Amino acid sequence: MQAILLAGGRIESDDPFYGLISTEMKSMTPICGKPMVQWVLDALSGSKVIEKIFVIGLAERSELSSKKPLVFLPDQGGIFDNICFGVEKIVEVSARDEMIVVASGDIPALTSEMVDWLASQIEVDLYDIYYSTVTRQVMEAQFPGSNRSYVHLRDVEICGGDVNIINSRIFNQANDLWKRLSESRKSSMKQAALIGLSTLILVLLKAITLDGAAKRICRKLKIRGKALLVPYAEMAMDVDKPHQLDIIKAFLSEKVS
């Protein structure tokens, strides 16, 4: 398997980290002696299933280290565009459909074991995308006070994960809806609204299950997808706010001490 590591994103004046850290790129925020993105890279490169990692948004001079080969690609301006570009480059090399791990550069608590677990959930040729979700119970048990945003469904409360698996073939049919869903990933209500009014109402009324919501979304996008309830809060613990950075620093300092 190949991996795409989304590591772009400059700290602009409206960013919560503006003026708090010295790095220009969010993914290079120092955490316990190394850049935040290096923690994610360590997890990917230490995985048994990952062969090569395509790093998007950072220059080769960033001096990142990896056990697996790295390919550095320029930022394309948006999450969806970056994923598309990464998939395009992977397909150019392999010339076949690929199952690809896509990870955000701001989940430094990720480990190789978690990446391997995610890959083990693949059912041969059944799904185009495996989307990770974490329950409120799992998240708050591991990271109390992290203040994640949750979707309240009939059977579970979840937040979205930041490491997922996609099949490269779905980008042959990529459309504007897919792009808008990707760009609105931080707002579950915006995503539900894009899928349709009926789905939004069902979500607001807590009248739909996780499986039911996944099926509605996949029908709308014309893809085959599966929502995974993952047992690892670390896969959804992205660092978006200063208090989350403090939590992660404390968590990882215990790991390395």
Task: Scan for tokens 């990882």, then name that residue.
Answer: 252
Q: How far is it, in rounded angstroms, from Cα 133 to Cα 114?
A: 13
The 10s digit of each residue's pLDDT in 54-84 is: 999 998 877 899 999 999 999 988 888 898 8
Query: What are the structural domains, with CATH classification, of the chain?
Result: 2-256 (3.90.550.10)
Percentages of the chain per state (helix, strand, coil), in multiples of 5:
40, 20, 40
The 10s digit of each residue's pLDDT in 130-167 is: 999 999 999 999 999 999 988 888 888 988 899 999 98
pTM: 0.87
Q: Is the pLDDT of residue 184 over 70?
A: no
Q: Each residue of 38-54: b (16+ CB within 10 Å) or e?
A: bbbbbbbbbbebbebbb
Pairing of strands 225-229, 157-160: unpaired
Question: Are the C-beta atoms of residues 250 and 144 closer than 8 Å to each other?
Answer: no
- DSSP codes, 104-171: ETT-TT--HHHHHHHHHT--TTT-SEEEEEEEHHHHHHHSTT-----EE-SS-EEEE-SEEEEEGGGG
Percent of the chain with pLDDT over 70: 85
More confident residue, 13 or 200: 13
